[in-house]
């Protein structure tokens, strides 16, 4: 049976030593290194090539979440179990979104560490029901474009019409308003979008999905 190699990132020294002891005490597991920060995490992971990473979420200098992002951006798919004090906060959700494989509460380390490792290696994702619900809810959320420019519904309609190449005269006819009213609306649109021409307004509207 292949020995499972592990890297630990945890800034709390007594806890880091405690986790290290749990790994070295377990037959079939090998501790490659235990570090107090993640400032050179990519180099350490690339050098040691562990089978598993145990990562504290809150660390000085750079957080565990940022470390996970860095590891995943380097196309390293090593399973990562996050270690955290709280199980129902957005940090855990952010870590999962960043590419973490699951997480374990620090208070359950002595009783659930081996089970969590087993679950991750089997392709599972250890996490509490409350976090699983947050993950599912976040998947169901539809991205919404914020109306950061405070455009009115009529201004949006005119901007949409403008982006289709319609003239002021056509826009006036479309919305049954005068050309002067169209000009007033477009002047306000330019002010709100911080642009000076129709080309700029249309370009910004398309690039920022305002229409």
Q: Which helix (H) or strand (E) holds 172?
A: helix 168-175
pLDDT band at 132 (very low <50, low <70, confident <90, very high): confident
In the chain, the percentage of residues whose pLDDT exceeds 70 is 95
Tell me which fold the domain 153-207 belongs to: Arc Repressor Mutant, subunit A (1.10.10)
Q: How far is CA 53 from CA 15, 16, 72, 164, in A?
A: 15, 13, 12, 52
pLDDT: which is higher, 170 or 210: 170
pLDDT: which is higher, 28 or 137: 28
Q: Is 150 left (phi over 0), alpha (psi -120 to 50) or beta?
A: left
Please name which of 150, 154, 149 lies closest in space to residue 185, comparing C-alpha atoms: 154
* Cβ atoms 54, 83 nearer than 8 A: yes
Question: How would you class 177 by CB atoms within 10 Å of its CB: exposed for 0-12, middle for 13-18, buried for 19 or more?
Answer: middle
pLDDT band at 1 (very low <50, low <70, confident <90, very high): low
Give the residue extent of every domain in the chain. Answer: 4-140, 153-207
Give phi and psi for 183, each to the nearest 5. -60, -40
Residue 87 has what pLDDT? Answer: 76
Residue 21 has what pLDDT? Answer: 96
Q: How far is CA 88 from CA 57, 62, 70, 103, 110, in A?
A: 13, 21, 24, 11, 20
At 37, is the secondary structure helix, strand, or coil? coil
CATH of 4-140 given 3.50.50.60, 3.40.920.10, 1.10.940.10, 3.40.50.2300: 3.40.50.2300
Express each pLDDT in 82-108 by its tens digit. Answer: 999 887 677 888 898 889 999 999 999
**Residue 65 scores a pLDDT above 60:** yes
**Residue 40 scores a pLDDT above 60:** yes
Residue 146 has what pLDDT? Answer: 56
Per DSSP (E only), the strands in 10-93 are 29-35, 52-56, 80-84
Mean per-residue pLDDT for 29-58? 95
pLDDT: which is higher, 78 or 148: 78
Residue 128 has what pLDDT? Answer: 78
């Amino acid at each position: 049976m292949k020995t499972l190699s592990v890297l630990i990132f945890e800034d709390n020294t007594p806890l880091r030593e405690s986790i290290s002891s749990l790994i070295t005490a377990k037959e079939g597991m090998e501790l490659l290194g235990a570090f107090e920060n993640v400032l050179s995490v990519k180099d350490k992971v690339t050098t040691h090539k562990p089978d598993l990473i145990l990562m504290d979420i809150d660390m000085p200098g750079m957080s565990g979440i940022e470390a996970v992002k860095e590891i995943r951006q380097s196309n390293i798919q090593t399973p990562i179990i996050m270690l955290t004090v709280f199980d129902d906060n957005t940090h855990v959700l952010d870590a999962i979104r960043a590419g973490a494989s699951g997480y374990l509460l620090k208070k359950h380390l002595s009783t659930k560490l081996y089970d969590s490792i087993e679950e991750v290696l089997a392709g599972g994702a250890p996490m509490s029901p409350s976090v699983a619900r947050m993950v599912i809810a976040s998947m169901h959320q539809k991205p919404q474009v914020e109306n950061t420019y405070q455009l009115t519904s009529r201004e949006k309609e005119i901007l949409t019409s403008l982006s289709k190449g319609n003239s002021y005269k056509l826009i006036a006819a479309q919305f049954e308003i005068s050309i002067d009213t169209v000009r007033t609306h477009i002047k306000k649109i330019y002010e709100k979008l911080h642009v000076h021409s129709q080309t700029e307004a249309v370009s910004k509207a398309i690039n920022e999905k305002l229409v």
